[in-house]
Structure 1
């Protein structure tokens, strides 16, 4: 996701004429430019056209921008805006243009600290190298030469936290009470493991499921995850469960899913080690996710031990 520092938030709720926080914010139907109602009225009565795209416009065509007004009210009351409000601002038609204007004024682009948007803390700089490292390796099936390379790399002892691969469709339906595809479920799990310090966290969601999401906030979440390399969308005609297990096997990753993978367990012995010993089952309570401290039962590895090489 693009940064949501306080400066960017203020840009998204500011009048494009007086550059102050919008008072009774409105937008114009021609190009979604925003302004205070008073500023917009004065400008349009004088020029008889939009100050951004020069289309002819009348004051009675102004649209009360409720997302903008609600964000302004929330900021004044709480000194910040909730994640939901920020996402609605970013889903508006003029958000890309305003964000580009904001970015162009900065001498260097600062990538967001992943907690900045959630906690509204000052944005910490993150290098492009650190962000690139979060992008998962290819999940294409191995060729014979790839297999040799993979065996050599496996012989080197790995350290640190293991990659995480999420069964996106499975956890999204689980968060939606097995009735709706809830993108929030995927986001909660991604954030959980990023907050624990994992560098690689990636969810698999088939293309057809991706295309079924219409809610603007959820669409924005999906596109944000995909842009950061935390979501991949296999073609709809492929078996995503097999791709998930293949990725986990090749990368010594932990699989997050409530699926038992019974059909694959019987058909493909090479995946049995991952299914038996490298899976985690999430539990959702409202908008919180929990994992057992003893995922393998008595005598097995603890959660902390399982998540490390």
Structure 2
């Protein structure tokens, strides 16, 4: 029992009520969705990462919210999705509009996989099984998600943790699970049976914050993460899947809120993700990048400080 678990289901501390079926149908029947093109290719070439990075930190956007992180001699994936669709089935659901920024076969051996929550655009069991069969990495995920992952491979090494817990990954690298304002489900009867989170990753003197999926609320989750970290070198913040606001505001931040989160975190730099790969909501494919540019200009923040990242784009620490 805690401020986010009632003994049966997880919830946000302020217990924000979830949208119901009537709200979902109102959105789906509104006819306000901007159609995406069949393809939205990245201007960056496919990345071929080195086998290991010992000094500093190297970060690559694979696509949507999937990142490959190297540092301290470890290779780490966050929310890896290499499937063609973010869906429970292979023949329907949101499909990719660009190829992954790293070909799966170009990935070096993976040591750790972090999974923030169990929505299909973040927890892709087909990709997790491929990684298990090839590399047998350590999987770290919030409470309850081990049941979802174990459904396909019982021999996976999975560590589950609660908000505020720190998991040591070895070689001077650790990850802390941070609060996020979201929800979870994999289908009927599973709503909020598993927890969701953000991650703060400490990589040999470098700090990375990954927001996962989250609403903004009062911004306390960002203030708390900043206080815990002391310094954040890079923030990975979602900037897409925010329209219409009346439906999405409690679960996804928009670009203006992402900029406010960036400031609350006190991060040195940020990469925008969760846009341009899978169409989940109503805004156009390029709208998040345009709205981010406008939000940065309105707050007089240099555009290079917060970049709308594209698949294959690489960030390295100084």
TM-score range, shorter chain: under 0.3
- Identify, as 1 or 2, the structure richer in strand: 2
Normalised to the residue count of structure 2, the TM-score between the two structures is 0.24
Normalised to the residue count of structure 1, the TM-score between the two structures is 0.24
Higher relative contact order (CA 8 A, sep 6+): 2
